[in-house]
Amino acid sequence: MKDAVLEKQSYMLIGRHDIEKLMRFDPASAYLPNSVSASNMVSSASDAESLEIESELSELLFNLRPIKQENLIHDDNKLILLASLSDSLEYAWAKNLTITKSSSR
C-alpha cells in the first residue's frame, strides 16, 4: 500500500507545470503522454542540454521540503483508507469532468 501512496506523490510531482515542462525537454520524454500545454514543445535535446535539464530537475526535487517523520502514516489500515479515498476522489473528479464536457456541447 505504501507503493500506492508513493505513486500518488509521483503523479502530483509530474503534474506540476514546472517539473512537467522540464521533463518535456528530456529526450526520454518521447515516452510520456502528450499534454495540451506541451504539445508545441520540441523534445530534441543534445547531451549538454539533457544534462542541464537533469540538473534543473534535480535542483527542483531537492528543494522540496521533506515530510517530517511524525507526519508519516505508519498504520497500514490508514494507508489503505487514504489510498481508497484518493482513488474515489480521482474517480469523482473524472466523472465530473466528463459530465461538464458533455453538458457544454
SS3 of 44-94: the string is CCCHHHHHHHHHHHHHHHHCCCCCCHHHCCCCHHHHHHHHHHHHHHHHHHH
Q: What does the domain layout of the chain look like in residue ranges?
A: 1-64, 73-105
Q: Which has more confidence, 14 or 38? A: 14
Residue type, 77: N
DSSP 29: G
Overall average pLDDT of the 39-61 stretch: 70
Most confident of 19-28, 35-44, 58-67, 77-86: 77-86
Please indicate, yes or no, whether the overall pTM of this predicted structure exceeds 0.75.
Answer: no
Q: Cβ neighbours of residue 29 under 8 Å, at least 6 residues apart?
A: 23, 43
